[in-house]
Amino acid sequence: MPQAIVFTLRPTAAGNVPGNLSRAAHAAILRLIQAADSTLAAQIHDDEGRKPLTVSNVWGLGSKLSVAVDPARDYHLRVTLLSNDLEQIAAGWTPEGIGELDLGGQQWRVVARATAAVEHPWAGSATYQHLALPLLSRPDHVANAWTLEFASPVTFRQRGLTMPLPLPDLVFGSLLEQWNASSELALPDEVRRYAAECVAISRYDLRSAAVPTSGGALQIGAVGQCTYRAVTGDRYWRACIEVLAGFAFYSGVGAGTTRGFGQTRLLPKRTTTQPAGNDHGNALRD
């Protein structure tokens, strides 16, 4: 059962922190996993393939290299889990159970946890069977257009290079890989080819965003919204895209999803929001 948890954090003391704490946040979540299952934590750390979780940056820091944090202000950290083992471990991740998180030497107190959309729009859960309903239930109508919001920079690795543009084959190819690595309801590899040949970008509101890496270099990604439209009427392949578009909320898109990149959600039809702005996706939005 994929699950998205949004933690509300407050620093225990005022101070300056790096504007990007995504690697520290990932390390903190791994420590929580290790405390419950050291073997699973080591497997997640060492595995070079798709990871069964995503971890955001601390949302609310802004885009500066160094940020002053306020103990009276709420910040947020979003974690998504894609396996039953992690979901069971995360049942104990309550504010009382966690207490404080060490993010790069700064202590942050966990003051709340949201696990449902009524508590926070970026929280929620779903079964893989529910996400696959466009294929399993064969409804009369299947969408032919999908608008994805990239709330933090989305980027891809292609032929050893960084590709910061969310092209259809890269977006849905990434989602396909994660879906097949996580779900027992496998989708065919031909979905990637369908996305490349039969899915077009019909409109977009994107901008580039640069995020510093651990070595000091900048990694470029795109934030904002992009609408993808099927140019053929084949119901089956459109249903596959529909499944993956809904899955994006939990899996993220592209490279670096365990360190803040690719936080994504499918927007309802005729609904738009402002692009992520100058915060590089650090501010959670309704």
CATH number of the domain encompassing residue 43: 3.30.70.1890
The predicted-structure confidence for 39-52, as pLDDT tens digits, reads as follows 999 999 887 778 99
Q: Is the dihedral of CA 79, 252, 273, 162 positive or negative?
A: positive
The residue segments making up the domain with residue 150 are: 128-279
Same domain, 163 and 32: no
Same domain, 134 and 274: yes
Same domain, 171 and 231: yes
Whole-number average pLDDT of the chain:
90
Residue carrying structure tokens 């027992």: 184
For residue 87, pLDDT over 80 is answered with: yes
User: Binning pLDDT at 50, 70 and 90, where does residue 272 land?
Assistant: very low
- Count: domains in the chain: 2
Domain contains 47: yes
Same domain, 137 and 253: yes
Same domain, 26 and 165: no
Domain contains 49: yes
Same domain, 148 and 274: yes
Domain end among 88, 114, 140: 114
Same domain, 136 and 244: yes
Q: What is the pLDDT of residue 64?
A: 72
Q: What is the pLDDT of residue 271?
A: 42
